[in-house]
């Protein structure tokens, strides 16, 4: 199956859960995120995302992490033409971009991806080897491209956030794709082995 068809099928699966079920599962995912990050994460730098209606909503977990002293960052698209994003401080106001995603405004303090501890990534699909299918823009793959070239790079840990129904047996992998270290669903954390591409 080609990636665009698979993307459509997996998004349909996600929407089929219904708003109430997505909210219930999002609360379970938030508990799993807090468990995975641990009870004493003060001083850690964690990037997350603001959920679209069909995605797992991490707002509850992010509020709890901020109370624990975690420095939070959100993606902000810096160039639509070149498909670039930066991870910027999550505090303060947010504006909706052309994709309907709330993001910090220009001027918010950015942190290099290499200096983040964890990135919680939205995704459309994932497989048992840690391949991730996103929305198709390649923004995250470009921002995290350094991870493809240095398998032993210690950070950030890349953790996909998904509903369990988004898992498939195998995803077609492109040369530019960046693999996940783990995924969190309503069933908990699954780590993926590091392996050559």
**Residue 150: pLDDT above 80?**
no
Average pLDDT taken over every residue of the chain: 90
**CA 11 – CA 1 distance, rounded (Å):** 15
Q: Can you list the pairs that 12-17 forms with residues at least 24 positions away whose Cβ atoms lie under 8 Å?
A: 13/165, 13/166, 14/54, 14/55, 14/124, 14/163, 14/165, 14/166, 15/54, 17/163, 17/165
Burial zone of 64 (CB within 10 Å; 0-12 exposed, 13-18 middle, 19+ buried): middle
Instruction: Tell me the pLDDT tens digit for each residue of 28-75.
Output: 999 999 999 987 667 899 999 999 999 999 999 999 999 999 999 999
**pTM here?**
0.92
Domain spans of the chain, in order of start: 3-188
pLDDT band at 197 (very low <50, low <70, confident <90, very high): very low
Q: Give me 42's structure tokens.
A: 């003060």
Smallest CA-to-CA distance from 164 within 140, 194, 197, 128 is with: 128
Kindly indicate whether the domain formed by 3-188 is annotated with CATH number 3.40.50.10420. Answer: yes
Write down the pLDDT at residue 105.
84
């Amino acid at each position: 199956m080609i990636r665009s068809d698979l993307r459509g099928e997996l998004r349909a699966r996600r929407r089929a859960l219904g708003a109430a079920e997505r909210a219930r599962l999002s609360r379970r995912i938030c508990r799993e995120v807090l468990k995975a990050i641990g009870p004493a994460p003060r001083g850690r730098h964690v990037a997350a995302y603001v959920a679209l209606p069909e995605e797992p909503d991490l707002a509850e977990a992010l509020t709890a992490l901020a109370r624990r002293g975690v420095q939070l960052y959100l993606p902000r698209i810096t160039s639509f033409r070149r498909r670039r994003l930066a991870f910027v401080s999550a505090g303060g106001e947010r504006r909706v971009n052309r994709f309907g995603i709330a993001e910090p405004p220009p001027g918010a303090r950015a942190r290099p991806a290499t200096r983040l501890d964890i990135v919680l990534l939205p995704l459309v699909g994932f497989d048992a080897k840690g391949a991730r299918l996103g929305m198709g823009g390649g923004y995250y793959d470009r921002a995290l491209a350094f991870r493809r070239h240095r398998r032993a790079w210690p950070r950030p840990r890349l953790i996909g956030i998904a509903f369990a129904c988004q898992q498939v047996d195998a995803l077609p992998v492109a040369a530019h794709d960046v693999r996940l270290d783990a995924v969190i669903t309503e069933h908990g954390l699954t780590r993926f082995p590091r392996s050559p591409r």
